Amino acid sequence: PRPPPLQICVSKCPDRYMTYMTASGSPASLEYYRNFCTPEYKGSQKAPLLVLKDKECPAMLIPSTPLARRCFPAIQAKKGVIMVGNKTTYEDGWGNQRNVTELLEGAKKANVVLETRQLAMKIFEDYTVSWYWIIIGLVIAMVASLIFIVLLRFLAGIMVWVMIVMVILVLGYGIFHCYMEYAKLKGEAGSDVSLTDLGFQTDLRVYLHLRQTWLAFLIILCVLELVIVLLLIFLRKRILIAIALIKEASRAVGHVMSSLLFPLCTFFLLCLCIAYWASTAVFLSTSNEAVYKVFNESACPFSGQTCKPETFNTSNVTKLCPDAQCLFAFYGGETAYHKYLIVLQFFNVFMFFWLANFVIALGQVTLAGAFASYYWAFKKPDDMPAFPLFSAFGRALRYHTGSLAFGSLVLAIVQVIRVILEYLDHRLKAAENKFAKFLLSCLKCCFWCLEKFIKFLNRNAYIMIAIYGTNFCTSARNAFFLLMRNIIRVAVLDKVTDFLFFLGKLLIVGSVGILAFFFFTQRIKLVQDTAPPLNYYWVPILTVIVGSYLIAHGFFSVYGMCVDTLFLCFLEDLERNDGSAEKPYFMSQNLRKLLKKTNKGQPDA
């Protein structure tokens, strides 16, 4: 193999054109050139051709500028003419004059780095003048999220029913519009052609001129309308139960306000997990050794073999191949440790998944324990513990660590298998084995579904652990069969809460984002002079939008855990209690009225 190009660390980049052949004839020029030679260079004692052959000095110098600890040609444009060091040509060291445009190709990547650096500096400047306004925007998002959760206690039913009515009205308008279009096309030329006769057309607008297209739309919308109306009639009571549980969850969060700040604890622990994984990954990646190989210009039997610079000059290689050199090739190694380094990296990823899942599980079981203590308090909130969140956190660490670790382990194994499948898919991209690609795609899809199912099962198992303190397997089995016995209630509650959370996130992120846009673009006249001058106004706006989404997601994740916990408690309450003095219902008075249940011999909570 040919030797790599000469690389030398210098204190200052060259500021003039010069070749070693011309510099060797002038002591002053040679003294300047010495600054860019290797320590082995002995000056004019050696013939210039031997100096260049032994790579002790570069063949030529070009005016350069420092960038990212590298020297790049000082390219500049004056009146549309490309110049380097105020010259348009340079000597290549062999007596030939070359145009400086030939240096542009090598400097293209440097220009990208320079432009990226300038962009980063401008973004940093925008953050320095707008950081306090960004914080104010995030505080507004936090307050809006809190207000939305509190208002759900009063507006959940209104929002759900308004949305259902709006869907029915929109579908009704769609049916009316399709009928009008169908009637309007009657008698027009070409409108009675069937879809089968027309065949496939790339221009989809052609289908809109057919009566059969609008008839198909009309039938589909009518079926949807009928299905929604029938579901509304038969699931009306279950929708009311879901709304009542959402309102009850708002009350529970109000009595355990510290739960809204608990995601910060989970976030901090996740940051520690990420730091552990990143530091270990970097240590493994940089634990390779410098590998040196034999490089030569002529034929040599030792070419490409590993060598040691300390003993290379005294070895047989230099005797058989006088022009051979022992140069650095890459970082790596040939020991068993270096061969199985990829296995250690996969193990590190597995440990990261396990720890991260454990942290998330700890957060879920803590919140579930706090909200379960609210539900099972007969007199709410008098029978609740003084610090429900801290009590639940202590119980989780003292009694349930093994269950959380086991549930996290199961999920981590599935996630690592998914990572391995992605790695294999990346390695097989160049392969043309269609069966292998199809098999990998099927496996990736199956394990994606399995991961989603395990996450759902784990979440409900942790709730049962928080309620009863049973082990993971028992809790997962009980939670699964309890949900299966109430599958319709699960589906209705899930869709109702998904809609409310989507509406809440859209409302909070949209309103805060619009407010940030009008403020940072100086379109609000009252605070027009207050907005800071910016290079890119989208920098703080995007930061506020992303931050608002994360804040809203954190608040609603707590609220979602509360709804799921109260729902499982509600189902357990219905199955285990009958309203007698020995087994009174623990659900709220509103839920009892909705289900027409009463506690005999006990005052209503």
List all residues 6 or more positions away from 18 whose beta carbon is below 8 Å from its beta carbon.
Answer: 29, 32, 33, 60, 61
Query: When comparing pLDDT for 89 and 458, which is higher?
Result: 458
Confirm whether 4 is domain-assigned: no
Out of 341, 356, 383, pick the residue that ends a domain. Answer: 341
Nearest to 458 by CA among 399, 487, 398, 415: 415
Residue 26 has, within 13 A of its CA and on its CB side, a CA count of: 9
Element housing 325 (H / E): strand 325-332
Q: What is the pLDDT of residue 276?
A: 92
Tell me the pTM. 0.72
- Residues 244, 159, single domain; the answer is yes
Confirm whether 158 is domain-assigned: yes
Among the ranges 115-124, 323-332, 484-493, which has the highest mean pLDDT value? 484-493
Among the ranges 145-149, 372-376, 501-505, 577-581, which has the highest mean pLDDT value? 372-376
- Within 34-103, residue ranges assigned H as helices are 48-53
Confirm whether 604 is domain-assigned: no
End-to-end CA distance of the chain: 85
E-strand spans in 285-434?
Answer: 289-295, 306-307, 325-332
- Residues 357, 480, single domain; the answer is yes
Q: What is the pLDDT of residue 202?
A: 60
Return the amino acid letter for 372: A
Query: When comparing pLDDT for 144 and 529, which is higher?
Result: 144
Q: Calculate the CA 409 to chain-centre distance.
A: 22
**Confidence band of 602 (pLDDT split at 50, 70, 90):** low
- Residues 160, 66, single domain; the answer is no
Out of 63, 84, 100, pick the residue that ends a domain. Answer: 100
**What value does the mean pLDDT take over residues 239-256?**
85
Domain count along the chain: 3
Cis peptide, bond prior to residue 4, ω within 30 of zero? no
Instruction: Return the structure tokens found at 56.
Output: 């002790």
Q: What is the pLDDT of residue 94?
A: 59
Q: What is the pLDDT of residue 329?
A: 75
**23: exposed, middle or buried (Cβ count in 10 Å: 0-12, 13-18, 19+):** buried
Q: What is the pLDDT of residue 86?
A: 66
- Residues 71, 23, single domain; the answer is yes
- Residues 361, 449, single domain; the answer is yes
Q: Which domain holds residue 303?
A: 288-341
Instruction: Return the structure tokens found at 169.
Output: 């009205």
- Residues 207, 308, single domain; the answer is no
- Residues 390, 354, single domain; the answer is yes
Q: What is the pLDDT of residue 325?
A: 76
Q: 394-447, pLDDT tens digit by residue?
A: 999 999 999 999 999 999 999 999 999 888 888 777 667 778 888 888 999 999
Give the angle subtended at the CA of 133 by the CAs of 131 and 135, to the nearest 5°. 70
Instruction: Return the structure tokens found at 251.
Output: 């009350």
Angstrom distance (rounded) from CA 268 to CA 185: 63
Are 16 and 63 a contacting pair, CB within 8 Å? yes
Instruction: Return the structure tokens found at 159.
Output: 């929002």
Return the amino acid letter for 166: M
Residue given tokens 């009174």 in the structure block: 584
Instruction: Return the structure tokens found at 92.
Output: 């290549």
Angstrom distance (rounded) from CA 350 to CA 372: 32
**What value does the mean pLDDT take over residues 114-122?**
75
Q: 173-226, pLDDT tens digit by residue?
A: 989 988 888 888 877 776 777 767 666 666 667 677 778 888 888 999 999 989
Phi/psi class of residue 75: alpha, beta or left (left: φ > 0; alpha: ψ in -120 to 50)?
A: beta
Out of 341, 366, 384, pick the residue that ends a domain. Answer: 341
Confirm whether 385 is domain-assigned: yes
Angstrom distance (rounded) from CA 251 to CA 218: 44
**Confidence band of 5 (pLDDT split at 50, 70, 90):** low
DSSP reduced 3-state for 418: helix
- Residues 264, 292, single domain; the answer is no
- Residues 328, 347, single domain; the answer is no
**What value does the mean pLDDT take over residues 338-354?**
88
Element housing 61 (H / E): strand 60-61
Confirm whether 201 is domain-assigned: yes
Q: What is the pLDDT of residue 274?
A: 92
Are 227 and 210 a contacting pair, CB within 8 Å? no
**Confidence band of 50 (pLDDT split at 50, 70, 90):** confident
Confirm whether 7 is domain-assigned: no
- Residues 501, 536, single domain; the answer is yes
**What value does the mean pLDDT take over residues 118-130?**
83
Q: 6-23, pLDDT tens digit by residue?
A: 678 888 888 888 888 888
**Confidence band of 605 (pLDDT split at 50, 70, 90):** very low
Query: When comparing pLDDT for 230 and 235, which is higher?
Result: 230
Q: What is the mean pLDDT of the chain?
A: 82
- Residues 514, 384, single domain; the answer is yes
Among the ranges 59-68, 351-360, 432-441, which has the highest mean pLDDT value? 351-360
3-state helix, strand, coil in the chain (%, to 5): 70, 5, 25
Are 585 and 597 a contacting pair, CB within 8 Å? yes
Confirm whether 588 is domain-assigned: yes
**Confidence band of 448 (pLDDT split at 50, 70, 90):** very high
Element housing 562 (H / E): helix 538-576
pLDDT at 170 over 70: yes
Residue given tokens 């990572």 in the structure block: 419
Q: What is the pLDDT of residue 454?
A: 94
- Residues 308, 333, single domain; the answer is yes
Confirm whether 110 is domain-assigned: no
